[in-house]
Amino acid sequence: MFRSAAELVEIAEKEEILISEVMIRQEMEVKNKSREEVYAEMEKNLQVMEQAVEDALKGVQSVTGLTGGDAVLIQNYMKEKTPLSGNLMLDAVSKAMGTNEVNAAMGTICATPTAGSAGVVPGTLFAVKNQLNPTREQMIRYLFTSGAFGFVVANNAFISGAAGGCQAEVGSAGAMASAAIVEMAGGTPQASAEAFAITLKNMLGLVCDPVAGLVEVPCVKRNAAGSSLAIVSADLALAGVTSRIPCDEVIGAMYRIGKQMPSTLRETGEGGLADTPTGRLLKEKIFGMTV
């Protein structure tokens, strides 16, 4: 059993196994299930993510009309133009946003780690898949690696916007995805931890300020930021760049920042973008209430 990123990396290095393998063995022990059963459960999550991405790229629209169709716009842009940020990154952005558009449209998604941040892990996975050509097993392991780091965050800080702001949601999701990308690309367990730290420390202080209290604005586009940062951080770690602040200390900093964050900036819909003139008008339009 591990509780910190340092312990997670230490186990992987000592036993000369992947981080995903550490998580698989822990799941087997904790749930008292066979490897096949644990794999089957994660395979179902992968299928849900895959279907959500497919549905998104066909075009979806939320009931409120606040979100929908942007994933398709980005895919069309990629076909017609040469993206400044590159096809892989923009593909990840499209699929990350698309997954959240499916969520807003009342579709089925897999919370990784939350519904509001559910696009980052699958968005990056199905984008890097086109370049790294992973096996189905490697794709499942991608989710186990993400889950291993998510487990550490959940046990040492928080993963909900209500508890710690969007740094705890999209910040954690981006960091989880970054660590998984590194492993899939052949990086070391320590490099995964470095990527995680680099991503999360660049999301520190991110507030949770949903317009009208809905998981749409700015949540969908924040998944775009989280997925792009995850890819950049993975490249940095694979290049040998390290975080001067260790992974667990970054998680600790995120926890303390979240505790210091006022309630108006923690998913209440009372501050930040939700409290702008347009944000208040949108709330009135959707719910028909005086704001």
- How would you write the pLDDT of the chain (291 residues) with one tens digit per residue? 899 999 999 999 999 999 999 999 999 999 999 999 999 999 999 999 999 999 999 999 999 999 999 999 999 999 999 999 999 999 999 999 999 999 999 999 999 999 999 999 999 999 999 999 999 999 999 999 999 999 999 999 999 999 999 999 999 999 999 999 999 999 999 999 999 999 999 999 999 999 999 999 999 999 999 999 999 999 999 999 999 999 999 999 999 999 999 999 999 999 999 999 999 999 999 998 544
Give phi and psi for 208, each to the nearest 5: -110, 105
- pLDDT of 291 reads 41
Q: Could you report how far apart the first and last alpha carbons of the chain are, in Å?
A: 49
Which pLDDT does position 1 carry in this prediction? 87
Q: Pick from 143, 148, 109: which is nearest to 2 by CA?
A: 148
3-state secondary structure of 61: strand
- Say what the pLDDT of residue 289 is: 55
SS3 83: coil
How many Å apart are CA 49 and CA 108, to the nearest integer? 8
Cα separation, 96 vs 74, in Å, equals 11
15, two tokens: 């036993």
d(CA 49, CA 180): 16
For residues 103 and 67, what is the distance between their CA atoms, to the nearest angstrom?
Answer: 10
CATH architecture, range 5-287: Orthogonal Bundle (1.10)
List of residues 6+ apart from 276 with CB closer than 8 A: none
8 Å CB contact between 255 and 157: yes
Give, for 56, the enclosing helix (H) or strand (E): helix 35-56
CA distance 192 to 196: 6
Q: Which residue has the tokens 């339009």?
A: 285
Residues ≥6 apart with Cβ < 8 Å to 128: 88, 92, 181, 184, 185, 231
**CA nearest 8: which of 165, 179, 178?**
179
Phi, psi for residue 254 in degrees, rounded to 5:
-60, -40
